[in-house]
Amino acid sequence: MSVPKRTEKSYHVAFDCGNSSFRTVLGIYDGESLKVEVIDQIPNDPVEVGGYLHWDIIRIFSGLKAGLKKAHARTGRIDTVGVTTWGIDFALLDEHDELVADPLCYRNTLGVEVLDGLDEQQRLFNWEHSGIQNHPMNSLYQLLGIRDKLPARYRAARSLLFIPDLLIFLFTGVKATERSIVSTSQLYNVMKDSYSDEILERYDISPGLLSPIVEHGKCVGVLTESLAQELGVNPCPFICTPSHDTASAVTALPSTEADQLFISSGTWSLVGAELTYPIISPSAADCRFANEAGVHDTTTLLKNSTGLYLLQEMKKYLKSSGLHLSWDEISEAAKSKGMDVPLIDPNHPEIFSTRDMFATLSRLTGSDDYEILLASCYVSLALCYQKTIEDLQQVTLKEFSEIYIIGGGCRDAYVNQLTADVTGRRVHTGPVEAASIGNLALQLTYQDPRLSLTDIREVVIRSTGQERDLYLPNRIDQDLLKRKLSEFAHVTHG
């Protein structure tokens, strides 16, 4: 059914919070396409307090308040707001709905002991009752780690809010959650589309801690009167959107065909496919895929791998030693070393929680040449993509000939080209602002619930034509590629 065009413009704001920055993004919709403008971008970084990394949530909230005010000053009216953030992390609130502490960052190793203490059967139980791979950073293991190591926080907790839910609560006073963010926790069962009673019961977690799950496109709450006054902004509704950044980014997949392969590229690389059903098979478990809830009723079967974090941390390290390299200089330095460099496992546990990426990579590769280390990151990432895509084909029994790289990481032409060359597939890139655009586009369903996912993606396609690109695979030395793939299998399996 075609949807009648709107004649009046509407104004939408997405708060898009990532590990390295948080942004206020304005979308102006004219009935055809969204004109997207980043209003504000503020660096984000966890802060170490008392031996644990925490997110400075008040600073984030204050930055977003300022962003909302600026967006309103640009347009004179805000029709809807949506929030999207990284997954897994959460805050605990006490009986007065006050923060027990700033939220912990998933890079703490609080969950490691908890997961190490589970036997194979318990791990299988957790996978089968959630659809999510066991990883010590999952909210389930972090929460149990808090119960063991920070018991005063656990005892004081009366509710648990994931980061986007906490931000919506601070803006509207309403406690609620949404399926994509809650699915990253391992407290939710993607097959049943509800909290996992089995997991809550087994680990004695009170269901009372958790908030109701709202449907996409519905209003969660309205900007509080006091904030509306303070900011001089109309009391705008906050809409339930895919509030996990991966799900928002996948909403902005610029294709209306079913079963497309995506790489949502940023600090993390999420390699996966959007499906209409979860896959909880032994091969999905062996390949360590997770079934995350996507937009509307979709499931994204994906593997979560360390992504540009490797390069972000190397860039920080080089800067601290006096070498200020731009992103172009970083990729040029890597390119100059070619593909035949030592490899790393991007998901090596030491990389996950390192505070010194240079030292860690030097140790893992045996090289202290920063250009080699950068090259090693790029080539290892592309090989990791190839391996994950092969696994994904095997698990889904589907063939993927095209790749869509979406999100900030697709600005890196070298990684895009390497991905095309190593995988032998056509690589479509963009939109760069996938999480914001997906979030903004989904907000349109509040005003017009008839919009289907295909309609939403058509809006995305119309809005982002200019910035999208295509990389065709080059013919590369196949013997070298074979050798690198086998070296990669070796570093990843020990």
| Site for ligand LFR, rule CB under 6 A | 86-88, 106, 184, 244-246, 266-268, 270, 304
Nearer to ligand LFR, 246 or 419 (CB): 246
First to last CA, the chain: 54
CA pair distance 218, 201, nearest whole angstrom:
30
Shortest Å, Cβ 244 to ligand LFR: 6
Shortest Å, Cβ 106 to ligand LFR: 5
Nearer to ligand LFR, 114 or 233 (CB): 114
Shortest Å, Cβ 407 to ligand LFR: 8
Which helix or strand (DSSP H or E) is residue 261 part of? strand 261-265
Nearer to ligand LFR, 221 or 409 (CB): 409
Residue labelled with tokens 């799900």: 247
Nearer to ligand LFR, 221 or 431 (CB): 431
Which helix or strand (DSSP H or E) is residue 161 part of? strand 159-162
- 242, 251 contact by CB (below 8 A): yes
Shortest Å, Cβ 13 to ligand LFR: 20
Listed in sequence order, the DSSP H helices in 289-356 are: 309-320, 327-335, 349-352
Shortest Å, Cβ 351 to ligand LFR: 14
Shortest Å, Cβ 252 to ligand LFR: 14
Nearer to ligand LFR, 126 or 184 (CB): 184
Distances (CA, A) of 398 to 258, 273, 390, 393: 11, 10, 10, 5
Nearer to ligand LFR, 268 or 446 (CB): 268
Nearer to ligand LFR, 178 or 245 (CB): 245
Shortest Å, Cβ 89 to ligand LFR: 6
CA pair distance 296, 215, nearest whole angstrom:
8
- 179, 213 contact by CB (below 8 A): yes
Shortest Å, Cβ 446 to ligand LFR: 23
Distances (CA, A) of 485 to 61, 272, 397: 44, 20, 22
Listed in sequence order, the DSSP H helices in 321-369 are: 327-335, 349-352, 357-365
CA nearest neighbour of 238 among 25, 453, 443? 443
- DSSP conformation class of 244: B
Nearer to ligand LFR, 103 or 217 (CB): 103
Shortest Å, Cβ 246 to ligand LFR: 5
Distances (CA, A) of 46 to 25, 65, 106, 208, 306: 22, 20, 10, 28, 17
Shortest Å, Cβ 268 to ligand LFR: 4
| Residue 75, burial from CB neighbour count under 10 angstroms (0-12, 13-18, 19+) | middle
Nearer to ligand LFR, 23 or 484 (CB): 23
| 445: amino acid identity, one letter | T
- DSSP conformation class of 2: P
Nearer to ligand LFR, 67 or 272 (CB): 272
Beta bridge partners of 244: 85
Nearer to ligand LFR, 33 or 267 (CB): 267
Residue labelled with tokens 């592309």: 382
Shortest Å, Cβ 338 to ligand LFR: 30
CA pair distance 491, 494, nearest whole angstrom:
5
- Orientation angle between helical segments 370-396 and 478-493, nearest 10 degrees: 90
- DSSP conformation class of 467: G
Which helix or strand (DSSP H or E) is residue 141 part of? helix 139-149
